[in-house]
Chains A and B, each alone.
Chain A
Amino acid sequence: MPIANYLYLAAILFTIGAVGVVVRRNAIVVFMCIELMLNAANLAFVTFARINGNLEGQIVAFFTMVVAACEVVVGLAIIVTIYRSRRSASVDDASLLKR
Chain B
Amino acid sequence: MSLLTLVGISPLIGALIVLLIPAKKSELIKRVAFIITLLIALFSILLAVRFDKAITGFQFTQNNSWISAFNVNFAVGVDGISLVLILLSTILVPVVILATWHESDTGRWNTKVFYILVLVLETLMIGVFAATDLFLFYVFFEAMLIPIYFLIGGYGTGNKSAAAVKFLLYSLFGGLLMLASIIGIYVISGNQIGATFDLAKLATLQIDNQTEYFLFLGFFIAFAIKAPLWPFHTWLPDAAKSATPGTSVLLLGVLDKVGTYGMIRFCIELFPDATKTFTSFIITLAVISIIYGAFMAIGQRDIKGLIAFTSISHFGFITMGIFALTSQGVSGASLYMVNHGFSTAALFLIAGWMIWRRGSSTISDFGGLQRVTPVMAWTFFMAGMSSLALPGLSSFVSEFLVLVGTYTRYPVAAVIGTLGIVLAALYILIPVQKALHGPIVSGNENLKDLNLREKVAISPVILVIVLMGFYPKPVLDLINPTAEKIVINSGYSDPVAKVGK
CB atoms of A and B under 8 A apart anywhere in the complex? no
- Contacts from A to B (Cβ < 8 Å): none
